[in-house]
Structure 1
Amino acid sequence: MRKVHNAAMTSKGRGDEPEEDTGPLSIFDRDEHGDEDGDGPAEEAAAQGAGEAPRRRRRLRRLLAWTLAVLLVLFGGAFGAVLWAADHYASSVRRIPDAFPTLPASEQPSAVPHSGQTFLLVGLDARSDGPTTGKDAGAPAWRAGAQRSDTMMLMHISADRKSVSLVSLPRDTWVPVPGHGKAKINAAYSWGGPALMVRTVQDLTGIRIDHVAVIDWSGFRALTDAVGGVDITIPRTIEAKGDAREWLAGTHHMDGAEALLYVRERHGLPNGDLDRTKRQQNFLRSLMIKTMSSGTLSSPSKLTGLLGTIGDVASVDDRLSNGDLYDLAWSLRDVRPDGVHFMNAPFGGFDTVDGQDVVLLDDGAAGVLWNAVRTDRMDAYLAEHRTSTGTLGTDVD
């Protein structure tokens, strides 16, 4: 298989420049002669004999004082520093007000006790030419008709926190949208924002949505760059078609800009929107593997950069407090890539409705999947359906 590299990733950044040598570090100051306590050669000679013992005791006391101070900072202040950092980055994540439908509990799916948590992940098609990092890259506030959701995934976290399942709902899925009749599912966000999107998905699946997270595509680009790019293998060459670019077979090391092209494209793919959802899943899988295998989570500097980027580009519902966010992150510390599963909602065929190309679900097969999510039985579901065409495999066009 031919290796394909993005040329933009080969140039050296500021991190390749040699650091200035500042000389040896010591807990004692040194004067121009390099002697401790300001003692030059003449003074040292005069201090021989009776004066040497007091000086040694003074140095010993200073050394002990510095050592105790360092130990207090390291062991006494570390816990406080960790709490401060966690709260700082959790606070940087924007909160979405009114993200849930204001319906009586009797008109919404019932929460099933001890069945884990289910998030609705929404990727927006807002395309800005502005910065891709910083506050301007965050998922924009919803405005009627301003955006349609480009990506929708149900993310179910098992109650034992050992596995995570992500189910993509293609943007062209034909569904009932409350108050608007039948339409493509991505129209719900445009018409009524997160609350209508949540209500539409809950009505479709019968699954109670616990939380919502929103990110725009420039956010995906920033996250990719924050981990140094991702490796994505394309099993066969895909020829250029219309506005779609050619993709050569091989492993591509993609920076954020190229990864963005990869996940957005659908016109050159055999199954259009269905293949695009698989690309999105494949990208997320590669991003997750890179994060877990590159030492990002164990390197304070890399982790700080990643957390800062997430805070810049993501928004969550205002039911998620800072404590909820870092409790969730801590509870998932033992999840590994083979415990994360990606799949599409069961496909029922393509159709044309009022001149629109739409995707239909297999309602019977989808009902089985929704029930498995609702009751936290995804391990059993995957054991039975692991080879289905909806489950993400290793070869992704």
Structure 2
Amino acid sequence: MSIGGMIDGGGPAPEQEERGRRRRGLRALVYGLIALLVLVLLAAAGVVIVTQQLGSQVGRYPSVFAPIDPSTRPSDAAGQTFLLMGTDTRSPEATTGTDAAPDAVFGSQRSDVIMVASIAEDGQSASIVSIPRDSWVDVPGHGRNKINAAYAFGGPPLLIQTVEQVSRVHIDHFAVIDFAGFAQMTDAVGGIDVNVGQASERDGVVVPAGEQHLNGEQALVYVRDRENLPGGDLDRVRRQQAALRAFLQQALSSGTLSDPARAYTLVDTVTRHVGVDDSLSNTGLAQLAFGMRDLRNSNVSFLTVPVSGTGMEGDQSVVYLDEGAGRDLWFAVNTDTVPEWVAARPQEQLSDTPR
């Protein structure tokens, strides 16, 4: 062998050739890993761009918790709890989100839908508890009144304070949508399937009794009606829950979320019509969605806070809450034990055919 590592005939030594192959293999592996890393980073950048784009469409309500004295608030619990509020302006124009009508006045109307949505810490289960809008409660600084008056009196801060006082459940976030937005969201998932207990009609739009596939316009008639229902606002609350349940089921089971284009359209529609408190950042929204990736519609409990009856306060028709039974339910919400609470009281769960 010569000093240059060549054997007779000028070829490289076998061990040198082996080392060369190993170096080339190592370089190829390194280059492959770098290329893979670049692709991952590009994909991540795309997700970030989409997250920022869609998240930025969500309307933000500033400082909704700031006016509330922290010492008056319930202790924070595991999981995430939202106060969901819906408004009905009887207008086809949106009043919430980035598509809001220019003349929409924040906090100018009473809330028609009040729900406390709680997501368990493990993201495997959730509960949605409706509070009838006519519930007769103490509104801080305003005495006894219907709970939906709190929003008109003091916007989100007073409504949050009132709900926390009633439930002793710590509200982490606030979200609001108007009924015009709900109609468009319904159309975005291709309509919803609801078993209608009693027919409804409004402005020429008919929702027949029985199993129905409702578009956005029909869904609005379904969730707005109370005059034609025996239980009045209590029946309407159940219809609102049924519509929300059907919306979730349609989104989860129709392939909407597994189809990137349809999922984008749905999220784009939702983000244009909702508003949340400004403590929920775009990243926070993405993390919340990721944390709920394993949640199934069958693991969401739809409930109404227990009531003891209805009556009159002056010229107002009101709903009286059952404080004892309510404490048991709210305790279950605070301790992530709603599935157990429902198992012991199956009659409290939303039926398959609410009126």
> What TM-score range do you get, normalising by the shorter chain?
0.7 to 0.9
| Residue 15 (structure 2) aligns with | none
Partners of 1:165 and 1:340 within 8 A in 2: yes
Aligned-residue offset at 1:135: 3.6
C-alpha distance 255-133 of structure 1, shift in aligned 2 (>3 A): farther
Q: Which residue, 347, 353, 362 being the options, matches 2:313?
A: 353
Question: Aligned partners of 2:281 and 2:347: how far apart in 1?
Answer: 38
Question: Aligned partners of 2:144 and 2:220: how far apart in 1?
Answer: 30
Aligned-residue offset at 1:229: 1.0
Partners of 1:93 and 1:315 within 8 A in 2: yes
Q: Report the AA paired with residue 145 of structure 2.
A: A
Deviates more, 1:121-130 or 1:335-344: 121-130
Partners of 1:138 and 1:313 within 8 A in 2: no
Aligned-residue offset at 1:143: 3.8
Partners of 1:139 and 1:313 within 8 A in 2: no
Partners of 2:207 and 2:221 within 8 A in 1: no
| Residue 310 (structure 1) aligns with | 270
Q: Report the AA paired with residue 255 of structure 1.
A: N
Q: Which residue, 89, 100, 120 being the options, matches 2:65?
A: 100
| Residue 83 (structure 2) aligns with | 120
Q: Which residue, 302, 305, 309 being the options, matches 1:342?
A: 302
| Residue 276 (structure 1) aligns with | 236
Q: Which residue, 56, 66, 71 being the options, matches 1:91?
A: 56
Structure 2 residue matching 1:77: 3-state secondary structure: helix
Aligned-residue offset at 1:230: 1.1
User: Are 1:395 and 2:353 matched, yes or no?
Assistant: yes
Aligned-residue offset at 1:376: 2.0
Aligned-residue offset at 1:186: 0.5
User: Are 1:148 and 2:110 matched, yes or no?
Assistant: yes
Q: Which residue, 79, 83, 86 being the options, matches 2:44?
A: 79
| Residue 76 (structure 2) aligns with | 111
Question: Aligned partners of 2:97 and 2:188: how far apart in 1?
Answer: 12
| Residue 129 (structure 1) aligns with | 92
Q: Report the AA paired with residue 88 of structure 1.
A: Q
C-alpha distance 370-210 of structure 1, shift in aligned 2 (>3 A): same
C-alpha distance 134-164 of structure 1, shift in aligned 2 (>3 A): closer
Q: What do the CA deviations read for 1:202-248 (whole angstroms, capped 9, x no partner)?
A: 1111111110001011010110111111111224x4476x9897643
Question: Aligned partners of 1:97 and 1:276: how far apart in 2?
Answer: 30
| Residue 190 (structure 1) aligns with | 152
Q: Report the AA paired with residue 251 of structure 1.
A: E
Partners of 1:133 and 1:222 within 8 A in 2: no
Deviates more, 1:78-87 or 1:355-364: 78-87
User: Are 1:266 and 2:213 matched, yes or no?
Assistant: no
| Residue 17 (structure 1) aligns with | none
Aligned-residue offset at 1:156: 0.7
Question: Aligned partners of 2:71 and 2:94: how far apart in 1?
Answer: 44
Q: Report the AA paired with residue 189 of structure 1.
A: Y
Deviates more, 1:338-347 or 1:75-84: 75-84
| Residue 47 (structure 1) aligns with | none
Instruction: Supply the RMSD in Å over aligned alpha carbons.
Output: 2.5
Question: Aligned partners of 1:133 and 1:211: how far apart in 2?
Answer: 16
Aligned-residue offset at 1:253: 1.6
| Residue 230 (structure 1) aligns with | 192
| Residue 289 (structure 1) aligns with | 249
Q: Report the AA paired with residue 211 of structure 1.
A: H
Structure 2 residue matching 1:286: 3-state secondary structure: helix
C-alpha distance 95-284 of structure 1, shift in aligned 2 (>3 A): same
Question: Aligned partners of 1:301 and 1:98: how far apart in 2?
Answer: 34
Partners of 1:125 and 1:216 within 8 A in 2: yes
Number of aligned residues = 321
Structure 2 residue matching 1:222: 3-state secondary structure: helix
Structure 2: stretches of 5+ with no match in the other structure: 1-34
Structure 2 residue matching 1:92: 3-state secondary structure: coil
Question: Aligned partners of 2:329 and 2:192: how far apart in 1?
Answer: 30
Question: Aligned partners of 2:236 and 2:200: how far apart in 1?
Answer: 16
Structure 1 residue matching 2:187: 3-state secondary structure: helix
Structure 1: stretches of 5+ with no match in the other structure: 1-69
Partners of 2:58 and 2:97 within 8 A in 1: no
C-alpha distance 345-164 of structure 1, shift in aligned 2 (>3 A): same
Q: Give the 5 Å matches for 1:202-213.
A: 202-213=164-175
Q: What do the CA deviations read for 1:44-77 (whole angstroms, capped 9, x no partner)?
A: xxxxxxxxxxxxxxxxxxxxxxxxxx99996552
Partners of 1:350 and 1:358 within 8 A in 2: yes
The TM-score with structure 2 as length reference comes to 0.84
Question: Aligned partners of 1:162 and 1:122: how far apart in 2?
Answer: 23
Q: Report the AA paired with residue 117 of structure 1.
A: Q
The TM-score with structure 1 as length reference comes to 0.76
Question: Aligned partners of 2:67 and 2:110: how far apart in 1?
Answer: 21
Aligned-residue offset at 1:108: 1.5
Partners of 2:205 and 2:218 within 8 A in 1: no
Aligned-residue offset at 1:104: 3.3
